[in-house]
Structure 1
Amino acid sequence: MSSFKHLHFIGICGTAMGSTAAALRTLGYTISGSDEKVYPPMSDVLRQAGITLTEGYRAENLPAGADLYIVGNAISRGNEELETVLERKLPYISMAELLKQEVIQGKRSFVVSGTHGKTTTTTMLAWIFEHAGKDPGFMIGGVPENFTSGARFNHSDLFVIEGDEYDTAYFDKRSKFLHYLPECVIVNNMEFDHADIFPDFAAIQLTFQRLLNSVPRNGLVLLNGDDKNCTSLKSYAPVKTVGTGENCSERILITEASPEGTAFEINGVAFSVPMIGEFNVRNAAMCVCAARHAGLTDDEIRAGLETFKGIRRRQQVRGVVGGITVMDDFGHHPTALRETLRGLRQKYPGQRLWAVFEPRSNTSRRNVLQNDLIEALKEADGSVIAAVANPEKVADSERLDPETVANSVTSAGKACFHEPDTDAIVARLKAETRAGDVIVIFSNGGFDGIHGKLLAALA
């Protein structure tokens, strides 16, 4: 622990900021923080941890005795607290740099990166370590079912962290994961995303290459061997390629798929995971290879995988009414939608699948992946696409056209409807669905409470 005692977080209620603040509190730091919107569940978590919270950003919120001010990723110039920090020449830092200095330095850092699957893979690896009695530290950008919180900082030499390629802070436009001092890096996959900060795919390749450049020679890089974007990366550290292709050094073979889970082999060694779809098998295979690097036995790894419970908002059943299953999923990239729908075919064989999609993320609101979205929605038996969230933030020429998406999917033989608001979506689904159907709602936000409204309407 450093000489810092009191830390003040500007923007404390974000998932990562809040989890970091609460975990640092358990190490004995005095923590305070402010946010524009202070509401449950994060506000409850922080107050229960003994953290002083202030709603709104004002100069008087800044505690005079703080040693360091942490500026959140969502904070920009013009924020009253930030402006005061700058004017008073107070010491400030990004959350990612704080983690590097106060938490990760000196540990065996396992960084899980990629466009998709980061949260699940990070949680799975942390749980494998936990189940084996290794008491790892971790930082997860979600709510893990196997743990009571999304972050734990302790004195274990093992630390597992979700490596986000998004930028760090208004004053540091590098990807967050470039601060995480990896001994082992997992690259699950690599696609164009975050259209608001990356001008093109080459910029994404560059930031992932920089991540690999930080892995020491006694570390390990695990790449998706079936993704040519991943295998194009170079490394000074040893590399293992993980995938189903014959050229992969760690070759995956799925041996059994049931509604309850999936059995697979890696180079002939058997494992299983209580999850569906090839996508989750790939996540699990990465964890097997990373855990072996950490020194765990295959028996320890198997036991961890078989008791993994997953992540909230990842294929989470919110209710079953009249034989209709309503499910919540965080997916917001066409590839994530496609792979989730394919996996759900394994879990619900012979049942009709409905996909409901809210274009809410900075990339999905744009038309850059519009054709990919059309192809993804064709995987469902029927689908509904909502209006673009905050459309004024995207130029007309760059904005996704939900009407075109709906017409294109429908003309391919799969019914797709574009509805203007949540009530219209609920009415449409009530009219179109029947007992035995499965409705999966894809959104990276609250989606106007649609899950509860839909369950109520179906009842």
Structure 2
Amino acid sequence: MSKKYHFIAIGGAVMHNLALALLAKGYEVSGSDDEIYEPSRSRLKNAGILPIEKGWFPEKIQSDLDGIILGMHARIDNPELIRAKELNIPIYSFPEFIYNQSQDKQRVVISGSHGKTTITSMILHVLKYLGMDFDYLVGAQIEGFDLMVKLSDAPVIIIEGDEYLTSPVDRRPKFFHYHHHILLMSGIAWDHFNVFPTFENYKSQFEELIQMTPQNGTFIYCENDPEVKELAEKTPLPGVKKIPYSNHPNLVKDGKTLLITAFGELPIAVFGNHNLQNLQGALEVCRTMGINDEEFYKAIQHFKGAAKRQEILAQAEDRILFRDFAHAPSKLKATVNAVKNQFPKRRLIAVQELHTYSSLNKDFVHNYAHTFDEADMAIIYLNPKAVSLKKLELMDESTLKDGFKRKDLLIFTDSEQLKSFLENQDFRNTNLLLMSSGNYDDMDLSTLQSILNKNHSQ
């Protein structure tokens, strides 16, 4: 008998990927949601599991279900959730279900406020390149992988461990549920201001995670990050192997980053201090899993990056258009600095969409001080609709300029005006960096891409 699972809020990025993964495993899958956007909609439709209509239908919840998988987007008074409780059907949050399916595996968890998607993606790339058998959970679509989740009979699972809340009925971070054997921690920089009201409260979640490392487990941590280093050094972990890491030795030649290794200088496709830390962290995890350095280096040269992480949308001989997921202050600063350091002789136009609750909040904006310093032109875009939906007050120009500590900051609240402004720039010897966890109100980038695909002599 095949197992049957119903997803409450099936449309989410990771939720719909899990639904597709279970379908691939031979399970029966159904789901509901009140809103499903692309690409989730098309992918669910192609798989034959797109809900017929939007909304919640308690009659879908039948006693023959093996379990309910509850998405973060569902509310606590969801009628399907109430019905499932009445019928005593097991209810799993996303991370609880992942653990339920991987109890017999070696569990590797990648945590941290930044870099975790990239580190996870690097490890997955190496394992795939080497033809190894593994399961995974990663927070972005990555090249060479159809889904963001895979569950099989593999002996190991690599999990991107998110600190955000588990579900509407479980207000703890997701990463507590995975019960890791190997833990990597990349850095701690205050994020999710709406959930973790103080930095100390946020940091304590990571401290608790470190303490969950079992005897004979491994804790790999970035010693460049002062918060992580402090926690790693003060937390007693008897029987746990602690491995600190830093930037991989490297040099930059003609806009290309080369790794300095025992096997010579090796070119890679990613760049910037954070990525060189990420790469070294991935190397330490792979070593712990029994992969030798020569195999790792052979594979990592072909790693192109995770989606929307320093992703190149267009380029010519003297210009590049980058798109990046950066939204928290530490990510913004690292991305701006990485692009400027890689191309120091090129002008840098950096654009940040304020999209998250934290970034749109005037009480948080001071955390963005000096994040834009390396950009030659710094631009902020915010959508007044997004601000009102989050029941916040629209920040004025002086608040933003003071918060970012940048008097020449340009501010746009209309995506058409921003698009027109950017399309009229002179991009000779110039890089353009678009950063956001949103999409600039579906701004059409095709004209910009064609401008940045042209060589200056054309």
State the TM-score, normalizing by the size of structure 1: 0.89
> Quick check: 1:143–1:312 contact (8 Å CA) kept in 2?
yes
In 2, Cα distance between the equivalents of 1:433 and 1:79? 52
Name the residue aligned to 2:343.
348
In 2, Cα distance between the equivalents of 1:404 and 1:321? 37
Name the residue aligned to 2:146.
148
Q: Deviations over 1:50-108 (max 9, x none)?
A: 43534422225624232211110111123332233344443322111011112x21211
Name the residue aligned to 2:243.
240
> Quick check: 2:107–2:179 contact (8 Å CA) kept in 1?
yes
Structure 2 counterpart SS, 1:226: coil
Given candidates 100, 107, 110, the residue that maps to 1:109 is 107
Name the residue aligned to 2:117.
119
Mapping 1:363-382, distance limit 5 Å = 363-382=358-377
Aligned residues: 444
1:444 Cα shift? 0.6
Amino acid at match of 2:387: P
Name the residue aligned to 1:292.
287
Amino acid at match of 2:294: D
> Quick check: 1:112–1:185 contact (8 Å CA) kept in 2?
yes
In 2, Cα distance between the equivalents of 1:225 and 1:164? 20
- When structure 1 is superposed on structure 2, of 146-155 and 401-410 the one drifting more is 401-410
Name the residue aligned to 1:249.
none
In 2, Cα distance between the equivalents of 1:42 and 1:138? 19
> Does 1:253 find its partner at 2:249?
yes
Percent of matched pairs sharing the same residue = 25
Given candidates 290, 295, 314, the residue that maps to 2:309 is 314
Mapping 1:159-178, distance limit 5 Å = 159-178=157-176
In 2, Cα distance between the equivalents of 1:408 and 1:99? 40
> Quick check: 2:326–2:436 contact (8 Å CA) kept in 1?
yes
Q: Deviations over 1:135-174 (max 9, x none)?
A: 2111111010132222222222121110000010111111
Given candidates 451, 455, 459, the residue that maps to 2:448 is 455
Amino acid at match of 1:429: L
> Does 1:75 find its partner at 2:74?
yes
In 2, Cα distance between the equivalents of 1:422 and 1:99? 39
> Does 1:329 find its partner at 2:324?
yes
> Does 1:274 find its partner at 2:269?
yes
1:6 Cα shift? 0.3
Change (3 A) 1:457 1:260: closer
> Does 1:201 find its partner at 2:196?
no
> Quick check: 1:359–1:387 contact (8 Å CA) kept in 2?
yes
1:216 Cα shift? 1.6
> Quick check: 1:351–1:438 contact (8 Å CA) kept in 2?
yes
Amino acid at match of 1:176: K
Structure 2 counterpart SS, 1:448: coil
Structure 1, unmatched stretches of 5+, are 245-251
Q: Deviations over 1:242-262 (max 9, x none)?
A: 125xxxxxxx43344552333
Amino acid at match of 1:185: L
Change (3 A) 1:89 1:107: closer
Name the residue aligned to 2:455.
none
In 1, Cα distance between the equivalents of 2:367 and 2:318? 31
Change (3 A) 1:402 1:151: farther
> Does 1:435 find its partner at 2:428?
yes
Amino acid at match of 1:345: K
- When structure 1 is superposed on structure 2, of 72-81 and 256-265 the one drifting more is 256-265
Q: Deviations over 1:112-148 (max 9, x none)?
A: 1100011111010111112122121111110101322
State the TM-score, normalizing by the size of structure 2: 0.89
Structure 2, unmatched stretches of 5+, are 453-458
In 1, Cα distance between the equivalents of 2:369 and 2:109? 32
